[in-house]
Structure 1
Amino acid sequence: MRDHDDLTARQRRLWERAAPHYDRSMALAERLWFGGGREWLGARAHGRVLEVAIGTGADLPHYRADAVVTGVDLSPGMLAVARARAAEIGREVELVEGDAERLPFPGASFDTVVCALALCSIPDPARAIGEMHRVLVPGGRLLLLDHVGSTWLPLRWTQRLVEQVTVRTAGEHFTRRSRPLVECSGFAVEEAERLQAGTVERLRARKPG
């Protein structure tokens, strides 16, 4: 547990340092690698929405007007940027500091849970997905967007080489895949697509009930 807590604390420090310039540093990747992904999430989210690891709030402009949005993030710095973005676009949102692996909400609290570009760096993604399952109502919807191991073997080898550096320095995994963890947590996958040589996955799943 101590080692795990140390990893979580490291991730908090990394995101705190990244918060002021995160959007600028991700702008090119957002356009060329993940383009359309946030719109895809927003179109499918409904009701009481929890965004896990909301970061700087990049998804906020894409939620439907009638969605009631709560965001949770490990980093106060990221939440500050998200709060400013929400104010700028006139979006009401509740922002909470918290850990994806220990979500500070009662069970069956949300109709939709969203997680975008975050499971790649959460220390224990299986535990985080289990928490997402817990806080969803029966029949609730899980929406995920992330980069994953490529379906093209030469590119996946390259991703593994890159991970030798990024996992140690930033906790960033490039060959993780969320779908097996989603299915093991009891979700039924209803929609899935792989893009960009299989390195990007969009996933919609439902909690039975």
Structure 2
Amino acid sequence: MRRTAETPADRQKRVWDKSAPRYDKQIAFFEKLIGGGREWLTSRARGRVLEVAVGTGRNLPHYPAETPVTGIELSPGMVAIARRRAADIGRDFDLLEGDAEHLPFGDASFDTVVCALSLCTIPDPAAAIGEMRRVLVPGGRLLLLDHIGSSWPLIRAAQWLVERFTIATAGEHFTRRQLPLVQAAGFQIVETERLRAGTAERIHAVKPA
């Protein structure tokens, strides 16, 4: 009997389910390098918020109390941790399992879409950004934070070498850059900032009205 080939989404689900119990400890060091990134994102969120690839919910404590947030995440293991985090802080978030490349929401459903440290692992980031645009209202905000290819050649070369392992094992890219994809999707750029030798980038963009 032939086994069905594993899709990229299935692989990512398997990888992140396996790493979910260790994720918070692993990501904590990187977050120190880009200090304030989660606060930067959540302070700019307005209206109905969708967080794509919400992971273990590390952004959740930073949203203003009155902000309605829906989170979607491919990994059931990650969603379970995010739900526990929401319960621990006494907040009511709608946290769902789903695929960033096929968002289960209607057109123009949200005022803000947030995605943090995740487009580096989503198999088709252009498709995911297209879906983010679709579910945003005209004039809606797109807020992104991710690690990207460094602007320093030696560091970028080291990132490329690391990718030879991480892409094969976990679908993790270090030399991607999301800004050109956001521009190609028709967003208007409001602000961008590259940090730490250009290895991380924050993007605030809007869907044209």
Whether these two folds match at TM > 0.5 is: yes
Residue identity matched to 1:115: C
What is aligned with 1:86?
86
Deviation at 1:41, TM superposition (A): 0.5
Match of 1:153 in 2: 153
Q: Distance in 2 between matches of 1:188 and 1:66?
A: 27
The offset of 1:34, in angstroms, is 2.3
| 1:20 maps to amino acid | P
- Give the CA deviation at 1:13: 0.2
Count the aligned residue pairs. 206
Q: Distance in 2 between matches of 1:174 and 1:24?
A: 19
Aligned partner of 1:176 in structure 2 is 176
Per-residue deviation, residues 22-62 of structure 1 (Å, max 9, x unmatched): 1012221212x221100001100111000000000000011
State the 1:96 CA deviation. 1.0
AA matched with 1:192:
T
CA-atom RMSD in angstroms: 1.1
The residue type equivalent to 2:199 in the other structure is: T
Could you say which residue in structure 2 is the equivalent of 1:122?
122
- TM-score by length of structure 2 reads 0.96
Counterpart-to-counterpart distance in 2, 1:150 and 1:185: 23
Query: Structure 1 counterpart of 2:26, which letter?
Result: S
Q: Residue 25 of structure 1 aligns with which residue?
A: 26
Mapped partners of 1:54, 1:89: distance in 2? 16
Indicate the residue corresponding to 2:201 in structure 1.
201
The offset of 1:149, in angstroms, is 0.4
Q: Deviations over 1:110-160 (max 9, x none)?
A: 000000000000000000000000000000000000000001111111111
Kindly provide the amino acid, as one letter, of the partner of residue 43 in structure 1: S
SS in 1 for 2:133: helix
Question: SS where residue 7 of structure 2 aligns?
Answer: helix
**1:133-188 deviation line (CA, Å, top 9, x unaligned):** 00000000000000000011111111111111110011000000000000000100
Aligned partner letter, 2:68: V
Matching of residue 131 in structure 1 with residue 151 in structure 2: no
Question: Which runs of structure 2 are paired with 1:59-70 in the superposition (5 Å)?
Answer: 59-70=59-70
> Which structure 2 segments of 5+ residues have no match?
none
Q: 1:48 corresponds to which residue?
A: 48
- Whether the aligned pair in 2 keeps the contact of 1:145 and 1:200 (CA below 8 Å) is yes
Q: What is aligned with 2:144?
A: 144
* Matching of residues 3-14 of structure 1 within 5 Å: 6-14=7-15
Note the C-alpha offset of 1:9: 0.3
CA contact (8 A) 1:46 1:111 kept: yes
C-alpha displacement of 1:92: 1.1
- Identity of paired residues, percent? 64
Counterpart Cα distance in 1 of 2:29 and 2:148: 18
